[in-house]
Amino acid sequence: MNRLLRLYPRPWRERYEAEVDELLAERPASLRDRFDLVRGATDAWLHPQVAAPASTAADGAGGAERLVVAGSSILGGLLLAAAGLSMNATPLNATVGYKETGVAGALLIVGLIVTGISAVLGARGRRTVIPATTMLLGGLLTLAGWPILIVGFLAYAIACVILGLIRLAASGPVGILFMAIGITLPSFNTEDERALLLVPVGLAWALAGVVVGRRLPALTRSASTAR
């Protein structure tokens, strides 16, 4: 098998790999063909044309469940972005010395929990269930307040990076977004302008939800034409 074909998304490989492999056996790939395959793989990730088989699309989950995944991802992301904006606009509490209180703090905690729920509902198989559940538990731990909240927050961030790494192979854009979220979160700080880091983090979550949501009609359509 041509190693470059491994660059393609799994659903694409399941559909076309044998054919392309046979073609390359008849006409060995030139250097130009190799570049063409890399370009084709990039396109296949950015503009998926082949539906994931039902077993890998969402562990057999129906369209309604995936809509909930997309919706909770978008909602949680917007809550996180709102938390960042709110914290940045809130003056430092002179009594307690931090901002994890009031509306901004509530938005942050609810945002972490809702996105954690989205991660769990969207988990595919045991490998992704463990980090996704860790994210949800991390979000729930932030309810306990200082200092336990920092443990929950870091657990959420680390699990998000791990989940991103795992999902990179099956759903590239979402995997990259998860990794970016997990890497960005430890730099977040409620007490200064770094609170605004929650805005790109929240938008990344919302974008992940949009990516999942956009795949819904595409999956349905191409499943019917692929038969």
Partner 1 sequence: MTTPTSELGRFAEPSLYILVSLSDGPKHGYAIMTDVEEMTGAPLGPGTLYGALARLERRGLIEALPPDDRRRPYRITGLGATTLSAQLAHLEGFVRTGLTRLGGAAR
**Residue 15 beta carbon to partner 1: minimum distance, rounded to whole angstroms:** 8
- The Cα 164–Cα 132 span in angstroms is 10
Task: Give the nearer residue to partner 1 in terms of CB position, either 7 or 154.
Answer: 7
- The reply to whether 219 sits near partner 1 by the rule CB under 8 A is no
- The reply to whether 21 sits near partner 1 by the rule CB under 8 A is yes
- The reply to whether 33 sits near partner 1 by the rule CB under 8 A is yes
- The reply to whether 9 sits near partner 1 by the rule CB under 8 A is no
Task: Give the nearer residue to partner 1 in terms of CB position, either 50 or 57.
Answer: 50
- What is the residue-wise DSSP string for 197-220? GHHHHHHHHHHHHHHHHHHHHHHH
Task: Give the nearer residue to partner 1 in terms of CB position, either 95 or 225.
Answer: 225
- The reply to whether 216 sits near partner 1 by the rule CB under 8 A is no
Under 8 Å between Cβ of 37 and 79: no
Under 8 Å between Cβ of 56 and 124: yes
Nearest to 123 by CA among 138, 134, 110: 134
**Residue 27 beta carbon to partner 1: minimum distance, rounded to whole angstroms:** 6
CA 172 from centre of chain: 9
SS3 content of the chain, % helix, strand, coil (to 5): 80, 0, 20
**Residue 215 beta carbon to partner 1: minimum distance, rounded to whole angstroms:** 13
The DSSP symbol for 147 reads: T
Name the site residues for partner 1 (rule: CB under 8 A): 12, 15-16, 18-24, 26-27, 29, 32-33, 35-41, 43-44, 47, 49-50, 221-222, 225-226
